[in-house]
Amino acid sequence: MILVTGGAGFIGGNFVLDWLANPKAEEIINLDKLTYAGNLATLASLENDPRHIFVHGDIGDRGLVESLLQKYQPRAIVNFAAESHVDRSIHGPADFVQTNVLGTFNLLESARAYWSPLPDNQKSSFRFLHVSTDEVYGSLKADDPPFSETNTYEPNSPYSASKAASDHLVRAWFHTYGLPVLTTNCSNNYGPYHFPEKLIPLVILNALNGKPLPVYGDGQQIRDWLYVADHCSAIRRVLESGQIGETYNVGGWNEKANLDVVNTICAVLDSLRPRSDHQSYSQQITFVADRPGHDRRYAIDARKIERELNWKPQETFDTGIRKTVQWYLDNPVWIEGVVSGSYRDWLKKHYN
Ligand code: NAD
Ligand code: TYD
């Protein structure tokens, strides 16, 4: 079996669902602290699936993690658990240092304590896969080549700095202790079960609720977008065949300016769920104050994972965004469950 952390969040939840969609898949122990971003409703379809063992807890809790490792003897840990939202990291960086830096440190130490005494064959096949972000590389100029695995780390937000720190710890646990680690650095994900504080789900829900669609600054910041199922397939490939100690950049070859992303969502909604006044949702676009320290451009050179592990994304942005909008239209119950009081408090605090 494998231990997944943060598997009640957006990407971890998609990963667990995709993994267990295979009837031959190994069991998963899913350790999640259930912060505001963790949501058991995402995993509701697994309620009666004995292959999914959910444990409520913190990756930083050494006693708990070591007892889980001893009890279940997983062959791998896939670490999704993190504080993940840049805007929240600007309002309150402490949780980011706590989970992303100290939490990863403690998880590495728990993994090392479990892994060190294993018999040789289990020791060499064990994997610690750390899921990270392209934001650790900092911001690109318009004509810079996309980020490759050899780019220097130049994180600019408390979020990306905390993820960069965690990546360095993972690297050091390989070089110093020989822990068989793998790291993936992925671009912006989108798709089902995405918490609506992030751009794409926020815009879909605000559009449907007749609210402003907030675009920071001039809306010309560029991100590379990857459909979440493609990220999950990349992680499975790296877990299966990645070279220990290596890092793999994962991206969708889909560089888009934020304003274009918002306009595309509006156009999809105009066709799938037209406004009652037959005007375009794009009329709701509102330019708001820019994010402090806002990175201008991210872009991923995903040739290494393609060349060495034969991985390629399946979705284009056009197919992925249509699926995503349709998913939000089809899942009002899940949405009802996440737009609770604490979500409304966040919107008030951040956008007012
Ligand atoms: P998310 O915020 O949706 O989910 C994070 C999950 O981790 C939640 O379920 C939360 O309850 C859990 N968690 C938080 N702190 C924890 C702790 N101390 N112990 C145990 N569980 C804890 O995040 P996401 O978007 O699914 O991102 C998952 C990972 O992928 C993160 O490491 C993130 O840095 C990375 N990543 C995200 C993106 C993206 O676009 N969302 C892109 C690249 C990489
Ligand atoms: P986000 O989804 O928060 O991801 P990240 O900051 O990790 O890239 O934001 C994506 C882009 O959209 C980013 O450039 C910030 C911008 N953005 C807005 O313009 N308006 C918003 O309300 C939000 C949440 C983000």
Ramachandran bin of 210, using left for φ above 0, alpha for ψ from -120 to 50, beta for the remaining angles: left
Ligand 2 atom with the shortest distance to the CA of 219: 19
Give the DSSP letter of residue 9.
S
Decide whether any atom of ligand 1 lies within 6 Å of the 33 Cβ: yes
pLDDT digits (tens, 9 = 90+) for 178-222: 999 999 999 999 999 999 999 999 999 999 999 999 999 999 999
**Tokens, residue 255:** 């560089």
Report which of 86, 92, 99 is spatially closest to residue 34, judged by C-alpha positions: 99
Report which of 98, 335, 97, 80 is spatially closest to residue 196, judged by C-alpha positions: 335
Decide whether any atom of ligand 1 lies within 6 Å of the 184 Cβ: no
Give the DSSP per-residue string, 174-230: HHHH---EEEEEE-EEESTT--TTSHHHHHHHHHHTT--EEEETTS--EEEEEEHHH
CA distance 26 to 220: 43
Please tell me the predicted confidence (pLDDT) of residue 11.
99
Distance from Cα 160 to the centre of ligand 1, integer Å:
13
Residue 341 predicted with pLDDT over 90: no
Strand duo 222-227 + 255-257: pairing: antiparallel
Give the mean pLDDT of the chain. 98
**Which CATH code is given to the segment(s) 2-350?**
3.40.50.720
- Phi, psi of 68, deg, nearest 5: -65, -40
Residue ranges in the chain assigned as alpha helix (H): 10-20, 62-72, 86-91, 94-96, 104-115, 120-125, 158-177, 199-208, 228-241, 258-272, 303-309, 317-330, 332-338, 341-351
CA distance 318 to 252: 12
CB atoms within 10 A of CB 18: 17
pLDDT digits (tens, 9 = 90+) for 237-248: 999 999 999 999
Ligand 2 atom with the shortest distance to the CA of 197: 24
Give the DSSP letter of residue 98.
I
CB atoms within 10 A of CB 77: 27
Q: Between 341 and 127, whose confidence is greater? A: 127
Decide whether any atom of ligand 2 lies within 6 Å of the 221 Cβ: yes
Q: The tokens 């605000």 sit on which residue? A: 206
Distance from Cα 65 to the centre of ligand 2, integer Å:
33
**Tokens, residue 179:** 């822990």
Mean pLDDT of 326-334: 97
**Tokens, residue 86:** 């840049």
Q: Which ligand is nearest to the CA of 10?
A: 1
Distance from Cα 6 to the centre of ligand 1, integer Å:
6
Q: Which amino acid is at 234?
A: A
Q: What percent of the chain has pLDDT over 70?
A: 100
- Report yes or no: 135 and 157 within 8 Å, Cβ to Cβ: yes
Show which residues are catalytic.
Answer: 134-135, 159
Weakest mean pLDDT among 278-282, 327-331, 340-344: 340-344
Weakest mean pLDDT among 51-55, 280-284, 339-343: 339-343
Residue 352 predicted with pLDDT over 90: no
For the chain, the domains span 2-350
- In what order do the strands lie in the sheet containing 255-257? 188-190, 222-227, 255-257
Residue 351 predicted with pLDDT over 90: yes
CA distances from 341 to 213, 346, 348 (A): 20, 9, 11
Distance from Cα 22 to the centre of ligand 2, integer Å:
33
